[in-house]
């Protein structure tokens, strides 16, 4: 009797897996995706997800769109099969914990320099971000050291590249009540700030009296990575396979071309495909 119970349990398990696999191969399988908020705010991800569904035969459900603090736990708990987010300590942490497969670069977003409309340092006339920062230091104009890790890394990476030492007024503390209020803090000081282009353009960062003075410099871009389930992620084998299918599409030439099209449809440039390799 014990043998037959074990035998029936095995048959039942095989039947469930076979049924799930058949559903996946039929093209009606679902992948749950969590994305950093700007991808949805800009309209790029909704447009791309529609194209991705047609290209892969998957039903793509966006289960979370929020800052990294909101989406990383969703992926960690297994509530999302795929995560699109900036490469960061958090993503390396997922990888080290066995929750993420090796990370793959997927796209980039852009940071911009925002400052007073009268632009006392002449940032708007600079040919690029490096010269803009040189002018800010030369004019001893205030620059907010934004608490966002990405903005901080961009600014100080440029300072190191220039061999330029910022003065005390170019390392001001961001005393805003929330990250979204940083431009108000900069405006109160008559200064500049480096922030993500998407939240400024879509009104997530109030910027009365301020203007985007410099944009379009590749030196101010950050990399998005696609995070797939690792060996210790709660996803089932089938979910892992489907997440990999979507990830493979996103980094493929077709996926990159569709990203460029989706970005254009969303009124970009907001999200940039990776540089084309020779």
Task: Answer yes or no: do 97 and 114 share one domain.
Answer: no
Task: Please give the angle made by the CA atoms of 217, 160 and 166, to the nearest 5 degrees.
Answer: 95
Q: Which domain holds residue 158?
A: 110-220
Same structural domain for residues 160 and 251? Answer: no
Over residues 196-223, the pLDDT tens digits come to: 999 999 998 888 889 999 999 999 999 9
Residue that terminates a domain, selected from 199, 220, 241 = 220
* Number of folded domains that form the chain: 2
Give the domain CATH number at 49: 3.40.190.10
Residue 10 placed within a domain: yes
Q: What is the pLDDT of residue 147?
A: 67
CA distances from 8 to 14, 16, 18, 93, 258 (A): 10, 12, 15, 41, 47
- Is 213 inside any structural domain? yes
Between strands 30-36 and 59-66, the pairing is parallel
pLDDT score recorded for residue 208: 86
In order along the chain (278 residues), what is the average pLDDT of each group of 10 residues? 37 35 54 97 98 97 95 97 96 97 97 96 96 95 81 88 88 74 87 94 88 96 97 97 98 98 97 87
In a domain, 278, yes or no: no
In a domain, 92, yes or no: yes
Q: Are residues 87 and 37 in the same domain?
A: yes
Residue 133, strand partner residues: none
Grouping H, G, I as helix, E, B as strand and the rest as coil, residue 13 is: helix
Do 199 and 244 reside in the same domain of the chain?
no
Asked whether residue 202 falls in the same domain as residue 64, the answer is no
Q: Are 41 and 64 members of one domain?
A: yes
Instruction: Please say which residue of 220, 248, 265 terminates a domain.
Output: 220
| 92 and 121 in a common domain | no
Q: pLDDT per residue over 113-132, tens digit each?
A: 999 999 999 999 999 999 99
**Same domain (yes/no): 74, 146:** no
Is residue 252 included in any domain, yes or no? yes
Q: Give dist(CA 63, CA 235) in Å, integer.
A: 15
Same domain, 126 and 263: no
CA pair distance 92, 94, nearest whole angstrom: 5
The pair of three-digit structure tokens given for residue 125, joined into one six-digit string:
């006339």
Pair (31, 52) in one structural domain:
yes
246 touches 254 (CB < 8 A): no
Do residue 213 and residue 249 come from a single domain? no
Last residue of a domain, one of 220, 237, 259: 220
| Residue 82 host element (H or E) | strand 82-86
- Answer whether residue 24 is part of any domain: yes
Same domain, 21 and 77: yes
């Amino acid at each position: 009797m014990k043998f037959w119970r074990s035998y029936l349990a095995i048959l039942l398990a095989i039947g469930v897996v076979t049924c799930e696999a058949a559903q996946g191969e039929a093209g009606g399988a679902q992948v749950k995706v969590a994305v950093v908020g700007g991808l949805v705010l800009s309209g790029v991800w909704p447009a791309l997800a529609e194209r991705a569904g047609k290209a892969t035969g998957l039903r793509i459900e966006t289960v979370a769109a929020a800052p990294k603090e909101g989406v990383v736990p969703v992926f960690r708990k297994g509530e999302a099969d795929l995560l699109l987010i900036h490469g960061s300590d958090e993503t390396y942490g997922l990888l080290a914990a066995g929750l993420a497969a090796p990370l793959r670069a997927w796209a980039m977003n852009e940071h911009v320099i925002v400052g007073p409309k009268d632009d006392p340092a002449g940032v708007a006339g600079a040919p690029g971000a490096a010269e803009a920062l040189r002018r800010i230091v030369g004019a001893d104009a205030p620059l907010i050291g934004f608490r966002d890790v990405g903005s901080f890394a961009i600014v100080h990476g440029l300072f190191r590249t220039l061999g330029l030492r910022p003065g005390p007024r170019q390392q001001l503390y961001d005393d805003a009540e929330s990250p979204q209020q940083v431009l108000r803090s900069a405006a109160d000081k008559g200064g500049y700030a480096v922030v993500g282009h998407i939240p400024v353009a879509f009104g997530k960062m109030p910027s009365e009296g301020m203007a985007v003075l410099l944009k379009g410099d590749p030196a101010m871009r950050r990399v998005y990575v696609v995070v797939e389930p690792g060996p210790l992620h709660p996803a089932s084998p089938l979910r892992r396979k489907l997440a990999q299918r979507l990830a493979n599409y996103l980094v493929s030439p077709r996926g990159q071309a569709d990203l460029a099209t989706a970005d254009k449809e969303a009124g970009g440039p907001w999200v940039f495909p990776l540089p084309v390799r020779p």
